[in-house]
Amino acid sequence: MSDKRTHRGRHPDDTRLFATEKHPTLRTAVAEYSWLLSRGYAEVSALKLVGDHHRLTARQRTAIMRSACSDQAWRHRRKTMTTLTDGDRRPLGIDGYNLLITVESALSDGLILIGRDDCYRDLASVHGTYRKVEETIPAVKLIVGYLAFWNIARIDWYLDQPVSNSGRLKVLMAELLEADAVQAGWNIELVPNPDRVLADYAGVVATTDSVILDRCSAWVNLAAEIIKAGVPDAWKVDLGPDDGLR
Residue 226, amino acid: I
Residue 243: inside a domain: no
Residue 1: inside a domain: no
Residue 2: inside a domain: no
Name the maximum alpha-carbon separation found in the chain.
54
How much is the mean pLDDT over the chain?
92
Residue 131 scores a pLDDT above 60: yes
Q: Which residues have CB under 8 Å from 237's CB, separation 6+?
A: 18, 23, 26, 63, 111, 112, 113, 114
Residue 204: inside a domain: yes
For residues 180 and 210, state if they share a domain: yes
For residues 150 and 51, state if they share a domain: no
* Per-residue model confidence as pLDDT tens digits over 67-82: 999 999 999 999 999 9
Q: How far is CA 171 from CA 97, 166, 188, in A?
A: 15, 9, 9
Has this prediction a pTM greater than 0.75?
A: yes
Residue 94: inside a domain: yes
For residues 223 and 103, state if they share a domain: yes
For residues 61 and 84, state if they share a domain: no
Residue 6: inside a domain: no
Beta bridge partners of 187: 156
Q: What is the pLDDT of residue 3?
A: 43
* Per-residue model confidence as pLDDT tens digits over 26-35: 999 999 999 9
Q: What is the pLDDT of residue 4?
A: 53
**Total structural domains in the chain?**
2
Residue 245: inside a domain: no
For residues 59 and 112, state if they share a domain: no
For residues 58 and 176, state if they share a domain: no
* Per-residue model confidence as pLDDT tens digits over 173-204: 999 988 876 666 899 999 999 999 999 999 99
Q: What is the pLDDT of residue 86?
A: 79
For residues 159 and 205, state if they share a domain: yes
For residues 209 and 140, state if they share a domain: yes
* Per-residue model confidence as pLDDT tens digits over 16-67: 999 999 999 999 999 999 999 999 999 999 999 999 999 999 999 999 999 9
Domain holding 220, by residue range, is 80-238
What's the average model confidence in pLDDT over 158-168? 96
